[in-house]
Chains A and B, each alone.
Chain A
Amino acid sequence: KRILTHHDEL
């Protein structure tokens, strides 16, 4: 699964 580094949620 893709782990996010930038966060696209509030």
Chain B
Amino acid sequence: MNIFRLFGDLSHLAAIAILLLKIWKTRSCAGVSGKTQLLFAVCFITRYIDLFLHFVSLYNTEKVMKLIYISASVFTCYLIFFKFKATYDGNHDSMRAEFLIVPAAGLACLINTKFDAIEILWTFSIYLEAVAILPQLFLISKTGEAETITSHYLFAQGSYRALYILNWIYRYHYESHVDTIAIVAGVVQTILYCDFFYLYITKVVKGQKIVLPA
């Protein structure tokens, strides 16, 4: 474990917590893409499938973190699609998730480290995570604005994988560790946030709201 991965995981936890708090406190999921949250839930379940297969006692923080990610993302989907369904902005959350899932699944079958079920699921989860934020960014571009709290969520969510890139550079240099698939997907994922990062740094930090040119 290095400082970059530690802060990356903390940033990821913060993002999940910020979103849950936003929905729970405002009792509304306006401005939140349910599809992106569904995709994240799928990512966690397919990536941490080993938790279900050979359940080992929660002997380390990693197992606990995996369970937190899975349960928090499923609970977030429950809030969006059931509890606060009336506030779900289905009209604007209109990006076809199939256009993200099918290519990720196909690519996972073509480009992977080992052609076995667990590895294919892990690879699918990595590819899907890289594009899972697209419905959320698409929704913001459709509505033309993002609530400040949602911007903080997106900043934490984008920072997590950006910090992982620093972690991979660190591990390449000090541990000769290379996980090419995770690195390439992580770079693509972070690039998708660049536009938002620019808006966040120039606007939200100054206390303004993000309003996209309609």
Please report the number of residue pairs spanning A and B whose Cβ atoms sit closer than 8 angstroms: 33
CB pair B172 A1 closer than 8 Å: yes
Choose from B69, B114, B119, B164 the contact partner of A9 (Cβ within 8 Å).
B164
Chain B residues lying within 8 Å of A4, measured Cβ to Cβ, are: 113, 177-179
Closest to B44 in A: A10
- Tally A residues with Cβ within 8 Å of B: 8
CB distance from A6 to the nearest CB of B (A): 9
Chain A residues lying within 8 Å of B208, measured Cβ to Cβ, are: none
Give the B-binding residues of A (Cβ under 8 A).
1-5, 7, 9-10
Give the A-binding residues of B (Cβ under 8 A).
5, 9, 12, 62, 65-66, 69, 113-114, 119, 122, 164, 167, 172, 175-180, 182
Give the top 10 A-B pairs by smallest Cβ distance, nearest first.
A1-B178, A1-B176, A4-B179, A2-B176, A5-B113, A5-B114, A10-B65, A10-B9, A3-B178, A7-B122
19 A-B pairs within 8 Å (CB atoms) are namely A1-B172, A1-B177, A1-B178, A2-B176, A2-B178, A3-B113, A3-B180, A4-B113, A4-B177, A4-B178, A4-B179, A5-B113, A5-B114, A7-B122, A9-B5, A9-B164, A10-B65, A10-B66, A10-B69
